[in-house]
Amino acid sequence: MRYRVATLLFVFALLFAENVTAKKIKPLAITMWDFSWIERRWAGAGFEDWDKALDELKERGYNAVRIDAFPHLVAENATKEFTLLPVWDQQVWGSPAINKVQIQPSLNTFIRKCKERKIKVALSSWYRQDVENIRMKIISPEKMADNWIKTLESIDQEGLLDAIVYVDFCNEWPGYIWAPFFKNEKDIWGYWQSETSLKFMRRSIEVFSLKFPEIPVLYSFDNQRVELYAEKDLSFFDLFEHHLWMVQQNNSEFYVKVGYPTGLFDSQGYKNVVEKAENLYREKPEYWQKLLTDKIDLLAWSAKKANRTLVTTECWGIVDYKDWPLLNWEWVKELCEIGTKRAAASGQWVGIATSNFCAPQFVGMWRDVAWHKRLTKIIKSAEVDERCVNEKLRKRLE
C-alpha cells in the first residue's frame, strides 16, 4: 500500500511539474498611447470615448498599452487641472495646441477600463510642459523617484497596481524635449551611458524600489549604439525598452536623403516626406529593410548578452507619419511587418508593438483591422528566452 501511495504521489508530482513547465511566457502585443490618451479628447481626436478605443484595441489583438502617467503633475497635485503647452503642431500625438488635463481620477479610470479588458498597462512619462513648467522641479534622482512613488500610491489606493506591467521612468532618456531638467555631461540626445546619467538612473530606481519592490522598472532609450546594452552595467533594470526605426540607421541615412528635420513646428519636413520618402524606399526596399533587420538582430544579441529581455513600443519604419495628402500607409506597414516578425522570431522580446502609429488618430493605420490581427497573433504566439526573465517581471507577465 505504501508503495502504491508513493507511486501515485510521484505521478501527481510529475503531472504538476509538467503543467507548471507548460505555462510559458508569451510576448505582449503592446501599443503606445503616450499622452494622447488624455490630451486627445476633443471630438474626432480618437480618445474622446475610452471604452470605444479600448474595445477596438482589444479587437485588433493587443493586450497591453504604454501611456504617460504624468508623475510630475501627480506629485504636484493629482487632481489639479493643468494647462499644457504643445510640444509640436506637426504631429498627431497629443495636442497641437494649448490644452488642459486633470490626471487623477482620469488615470485610475483609464487603468480600470484596461484591467476590465485584461489589457496590461505600462507607465511612462514624456514630462509634458505645463505653463508653470513643473517638470523643472525634478532636480535630483530622489525627486524623480518620489514623483513615481506618489503616482503608484495613487493607483494602489484604488487597488489597480496589479494592472501595471512595468514603469519606464522617462521616455527616451535623456533628451532635451522629454527631460530638459537633467544636465548631462554632454549635450547629446540619448547619451544615457554617461556616468552622470547612470548614477541618476541607478539612484532613482533604488529609492523607488524600496517602496515598490515588486514593480519592474527601467528608463527607455533610442540611442543608436545598441551594443552598449552588452557593455554597460544596467543590472538595476528589470528589462530594456528600446525604440528602433529604419530611418535612423546608418546615421539617419534615409532621413538625410529625404531632408527631414525634427518635425515640431515646421511643415517643410512633411513636404519633403510627401515628395521623396516612399519613392526613396521603393527604389531599393531590400537595402532599407536590411538596415532595419540588422539593427534588430544586434539589439537582440546585446540584450541577450546582458541577460535581459526587451520591450519595443515605438518602431519600426519611419518615426513621424500621419494621415495627409499623398502619404500612403502601405510602405510603412510593409516595413513595420518586417520589423515585428523579426523581433518576434528572436525570442528576446516580451513586448512588441507593430508601430508607433497604432492608435485611433492614425486612421489609415488603425482601420486595417486584419493587418493588426495577423501581426498580434504572431507576437502573442512567439517564444521567449525565459532565462532572461527575472521573477519580478515573470509575475507581471503571467
pLDDT above 70: percentage of residues in the chain:
94
Is the pLDDT confidence value at 18 over 60?
no
Residue written as grid cell 513646428: 265
Confirm whether 205 is domain-assigned.
yes
Segment 76-108, tens digit of pLDDT: 999 999 999 999 999 999 999 999 999 999 999
pLDDT the model gives residue 23: 72
Confirm whether 15 is domain-assigned.
no
Total-model pTM? 0.94
Confirm whether 16 is domain-assigned.
no
Query: 313: closest CA among 93, 91, 45?
Result: 93
CB-CB contact of 298 with 382 (8 Å)? no
Q: How confident is the model at residue 20 (pLDDT cuts 50, 70, 90)?
A: very low
What b/e readout covers 33-70, taking b as 16+ CB neighbours within 10 angstroms?
A: bbbbbbbbbeeebbbeebeebbebbeebbbbbbbbbbb
Is the pLDDT confidence value at 55 over 80?
yes
- Mean pLDDT, rounded, for 371-380: 98
- Mean pLDDT, rounded, for 175-200: 97
Is the pLDDT confidence value at 6 over 50?
no
Query: CA 292 to CA 308: how far, in whole Å?
Result: 21
Confirm whether 359 is domain-assigned.
yes
Query: CA 104 to CA 79: how far, in whole Å?
Result: 5
Confirm whether 1 is domain-assigned.
no
Burial class, 26, CB count within 10 angstroms (exposed 0-12 / middle 13-18 / buried 19+): middle
Segment 207-248, tens digit of pLDDT: 999 999 999 999 999 999 999 999 999 999 999 999 999 999
Q: How confident is the model at residue 206 (pLDDT cuts 50, 70, 90)?
A: very high
Radius of gyration over alpha carbons of the chain, in Å?
Answer: 21
Confirm whether 66 is domain-assigned.
yes
Q: How confident is the model at residue 262 (pLDDT cuts 50, 70, 90)?
A: confident
Query: CA 324 to CA 52: how far, in whole Å?
Result: 24
pLDDT above 90: percentage of residues in the chain:
93
Confirm whether 310 is domain-assigned.
yes
- Mean pLDDT, rounded, for 303-321: 98
98: three-class secondary structure by DSSP: coil
Q: How confident is the model at residue 123 (pLDDT cuts 50, 70, 90)?
A: very high
Q: How many domains does the chain have?
A: 1
CATH number at residue 68: 3.20.20.80
pLDDT the model gives residue 261: 86
pLDDT the model gives residue 342: 98
- Mean pLDDT, rounded, for 125-130: 98
SS3 letters across 144-207: HHHHHHHHHHHHHCCCCHHHEEEEECCCCCCCCCCCCCCCCCCCCCCCCCCHHHHHHHHHHHHH
Domain region containing 344: 23-397
- Mean pLDDT, rounded, for 103-117: 98
